[in-house]
Amino acid sequence: MTAYAFTDEQLQLRESVRRYLNDHGTVLRTRELMDDPEGFDQPSFQGLFNELGVGGVHVPEEFGGAGLGYVELCIVLEEMGRSLFPSPYLSSSVLAANAVLLAGTLEQKADLLPPIASGGQVATVALYEESNLTDIGNVTQCVVDNSFTGVKSFVTDGHVADQIILVAKHAANPNGKPKFWLSRSDDPGITCTSMTSIDTTRRISRVSFENVKVEPLGDVEADFSVFDQFIDFALVALANEMVGGAQWLLESCVDYANNRVQFGRPISSMQAIKHKCADLLLEIELAKSGAYRAAQAIADDDPALPVYASIAKAAANDAYMLAAADAIQIHGGIGFTWDNDTHLWFKRAKSSQVLLGTSEIHRDQMLERVDLLEVG
């Protein structure tokens, strides 16, 4: 694949995932799951692993995965964002798998990745605490003697996770980079409480740890850190999911405008609607380019990844929120109603906008890192 063109095999993967989600990820089913305690359909989720084999898209075959790349993973995520498929896929197959792949030892990878890649276990990453809500790297909680006490908020799918990978510093090096630590959700010192969220298609929890025994991912004494790389990988994954949702909103706008007749003609023939849809198309295509380029940067091990990741997230934030707002406006009066589906994507757009950093944060980071880009 070049920076912006998919191979035939990648297009086939996209088509297979889209067909599956069209059958198993209908909006009607999503609405039903919004009131479900778990928030996702276990058989449909397991089908991603058993029928499509996308549970470990980017996980090496030796660890139970498909052995493909990050571009293929992002294709799957884009289709999930397009259908608003509720599942712990982002938490487990992306965030948790990335943490193990980047930080874990060979023994830890061999132990942890196969059940994640097969869907046998659900894992998540507990990242946020009070100190790093706006600066994600400002983690202050520490692990002392392989024991952790603290509170992590906004843990995606924490209520169904078998394995919780928490982010904390090592007490021996409180000024160093955060590290990843393994814990099990059934530890008696862990309490998981569901949090109220604007987006009920993606559940979040507050997880309290009280003297919980943890195991470091990788060598805790190593002077290198993969935390920043993990965040960049997560940004790229989320950006691709977001552009999928934005694309669905654009398609719903065009479809409605072509069918809604006012003053004897479809509203799509009116110049104001044409301009709005055209501007939205340009914004989404720009965001797609950023998301795809960032995914390719991971595949190419490009040292400029931090710049591309921030560009991708900032552009996806803007495009998704614009698409959500415009979709409500183009749909007119029904766009504000519960019965219309637009609000589901609007809520996902809003929750994703702040997850892992706003556009302003990432534009600032992009400017700080722009020297990583090659000139000429």
Sorted by sequence, the CB contacts under 8 Å of residue 11 that are 6+ apart come out as none
**CATH number, domain containing residue 280:** 1.20.140.10
**CATH number, domain containing residue 92:** 1.10.540.10
Q: Report if residue 2 sits inside a domain.
A: no
In the listed set 216, 246, 272, which residue is the last one of a domain according to the structure?
A: 216
Choice between 196 and 4, residue whose per-residue pLDDT is larger: 196
Residue 375: which pLDDT band, with cuts at 50, 70 and 90?
Answer: very low
pLDDT at 2: 41
Structure token digits, residue 74: 């992002």
Q: Domain of residue 266: give its range.
A: 227-372
Task: Tell me the average pLDDT of the chain.
Answer: 91
- Reported pTM: 0.94
Structure token digits, residue 263: 């003053």
- Tell me the DSSP string of 343-361: HHHHHHHHHHHHTT--HHH
| pLDDT of 56 higher than 80 | yes
What sign results for the dihedral spanned by CA atoms 137, 161, 39, 295?
A: positive
In the listed set 183, 216, 249, which residue is the last one of a domain according to the structure?
A: 216
**CATH number, domain containing residue 138:** 2.40.110.10
pLDDT at 4: 67
Question: CA angle, corner 51, sides to 49 and 57, nearest 5?
Answer: 45
136 lies in the same domain as 156: yes
Mean pLDDT across 299-323:
95
- pLDDT tens profile 218-248: 887 766 679 999 999 999 999 999 999 999 9
Mean pLDDT across 50-66:
92
Q: Report if residue 221 sits inside a domain.
A: no
257 lies in the same domain as 295: yes
Name the 3-class secondary structure at 327. Answer: helix
pLDDT at 331: 85
Residue 101 · residue 165 · CB < 8 Å: no
Residue 107 · residue 133 · CB < 8 Å: no
pLDDT at 317: 97
93 lies in the same domain as 158: no
181 lies in the same domain as 309: no
Task: Domain count for the chain, please give it.
Answer: 3
User: CA–CA separation, 102 vs 237, rounded Å?
Assistant: 15
Residue 128 carries which DSSP code?
Answer: B
Classify burial at 202, counting beta carbons within 10 Å of its beta carbon; exposed 0-12, middle 13-18, buried 19 or more: buried
Q: Report if residue 3 sits inside a domain.
A: no
| pLDDT of 22 higher than 70 | yes
